[in-house]
């Protein structure tokens, strides 16, 4: 079936360096993607989103890149800080059966920032 | 400015017992979503409700699981006769508009259910 998955389950980055988290998706009909950050013991927190008519979107210290040709999504975090340590999920929006939309999450990548 | 609230935060049940998980959406939000998260996995959609209506329950197991969102009070996810495989974190999210996303779906802190 259609799924959203991640290449790397864990990633360790030196504080101050940049990090890149990758995500592959298989549903070619998806037109909207979101990156979430989940800290230990907490619910997912929205980071940044991108629509399929874009290939890049920037936020504060974060950039999301979308390559529709190879169905690949990435999250770049610049100048990482200890507070960036968390699990990061990509999620795609799929249409529900009743006109609603629902999130399909990938497995997640655990990012650890080394002081 | 309270966010989405869930209680209890941790729940321990023995096999065969019932589990009731509560979710109070953000003020003004009338749409509630429940997700389940197994350890080291992403969240899986379970059900989408509006006040007094179940809109999409395509992610709900066919048996033992039910959800409601009454006119007054929190949304309830009910699991009857729990089994060890029900052990997971259950997250609730709410939104103010029909199906809208970007940053309009806000997640609660989750309830961690452990079945002994």
pLDDT at B98: 56
Answer whether A107 sits within 8 Å of B109, measured CB to CB: no
Residue of B nearest to A44 (CA): B107
pLDDT in tens, A49-70: 999 899 999 999 999 999 999 9
Please tell me the predicted confidence (pLDDT) of residue A104.
Answer: 85
- pLDDT recorded at residue A97: 65
Residues of B in contact with A93 (CB under 8 A): 101
A24 vs A27, A33, A73, CA distance in Å? 10, 11, 6
pLDDT band at A47 (very low <50, low <70, confident <90, very high): very high
Residues in chain B, pLDDT under 50: 102-103
Q: Which tokens in the block code for residue A106?
A: 């990938």
Q: Is the peptide bond before A96 cis (omega within 30 degrees of 0)?
A: no
Interface test with B, best of A31, A103, A110 (most B CBs within 10 A): A103
Q: Answer whether residue A78 shows pLDDT above 90.
A: yes
Which residues in chain A are contacts of B110 at CB distance < 8 A?
A: 41-43
Size of interface A-B (CB pairs under 8 A): 72
Q: Which residues pair with B54 in a beta bridge?
A: B49
Check residue B111 and give its pLDDT.
97
């Amino acid at each position: 079936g259609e799924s959203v998955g991640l290449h790397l389950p864990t990633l360790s980055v030196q504080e101050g360096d940049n990090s890149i988290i990758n995500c592959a998706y298989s549903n070619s009909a998806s037109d909207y993607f979101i990156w979430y950050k989940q800290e230990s013991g907490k619910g997912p927190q929205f980071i940044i989103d991108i629509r399929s008519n874009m290939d890049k979107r920037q936020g504060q210290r974060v950039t999301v890149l979308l390559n529709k040709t190879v169905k690949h999504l990435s999250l770049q975090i610049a100048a990482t800080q200890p507070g960036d340590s968390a699990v990061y999920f990509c999620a795609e929006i799929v249409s529900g059966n009743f006109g609603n939309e629902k999130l399909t999450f990938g497995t997640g990548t655990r990012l650890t920032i080394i002081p | 400015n309270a966010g989405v609230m869930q209680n209890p935060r941790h729940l321990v049940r023995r096999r065969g017992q019932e589990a009731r998980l509560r979710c109070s959406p953000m003020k003004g939000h009338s749409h509630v979503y429940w997700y389940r998260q197994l350890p080291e996995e992403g969240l899986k959609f379970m059900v989408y409700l509006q006040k007094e209506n179940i809109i999409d329950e395509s992610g709900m197991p066919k048996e033992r699981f039910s959800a409601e969102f009454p006119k007054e009070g929190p949304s309830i996810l009910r699991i009857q006769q729990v089994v060890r495989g029900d052990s997971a974190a259950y997250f609730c999210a709410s939104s103010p508009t029909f199906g809208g996303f970007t940053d309009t779906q806000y997640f609660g802190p989750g309830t961690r259910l452990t079945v002994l």
